[in-house]
Amino acid sequence: MNSSGYKIRNQSGIYFITFAVVEWIDVFTKRQYAKIVIDSLNYCRKEKGLEIYAWCLMSNHLHLIISSKEGRLSDTLRDFKKYTASMILSSIEDNKKESRRSWMLWIFGSAGKKNANNKIYQFWQQNNQPKELETNYFKDQKLNYIHMNPVEAGLVNEPEEYRYSSAIDYSGGKGLVEICFL
């Protein structure tokens, strides 16, 4: 397991990665924001060579097991985070019916001011803590962790019941994001 410094050192390795929203704000309780993440995952899979083995989008974070068959994984992830942040923030700004709109934009703006890499807002926390999955045991452990996340949170009784996850694919169904099986 390569976790020193939490960097992607092996660009062709398989990684467990978590993207968390700043201050763990529950953004993905609204379908329109979740759809941006799902559409972007599908785009990156189709157009950027992102191999998605497992995923689970919770209310405030995204777990992935991924690799890249083309280019550099870190570049794809950077582009994914930048694009989804921009689209979600625009959607929040434009959504006059969003009851948490002012509060969320204030939090994202406060986080953005603390980070010189941002112009106005920061949506995703900076560190993804990528962990290379070098053994079958570690792959199985993280796959189970991802799929059990909604069960542990009390959202569903069975992993395959959760809409925003690849658990349905591993149970013989068809999920929202096309995956490659581990």
| 157 pLDDT above the threshold of 90 | yes
C-alpha torsion sign, points 12, 142, 174, 37: negative
Spell out the domains of the chain, with CATH numbers in brackets.
4-170 (3.30.70.1290)
| 10 pLDDT above the threshold of 60 | yes
Sheet of strand 61-68, all strands in order from the earlier edge strand to the far edge: 50-57, 61-68, 15-20, 131-132
Long-range contacts of 152-160 (CB under 8 A, 24+ apart): 153/58
Quote the pTM value: 0.93
DSSP letters, 51-110, are: EEEEEEE-SSEEEEEEEESSS-HHHHHHHHHHHHHHHHHHHHHH-TT-TTHHHHHHHHHH
Q: Per-residue confidence at 117, pLDDT binned at 50, 70, 90?
A: confident
DSSP letters, 23-43, are: GG--GGGSHHHHHHHHHHHHH
Size of the chain, expressed as the number of residues it contains: 182
DSSP bridge pairs for 61: 20
| 4 pLDDT above the threshold of 60 | no
Q: Per-residue confidence at 6, pLDDT binned at 50, 70, 90?
A: low
For the purposes of burial, counting CB atoms within 10 Å of the CB of 120, is it exposed (0-12), middle (13-18) or buried (19 or more)?
A: exposed
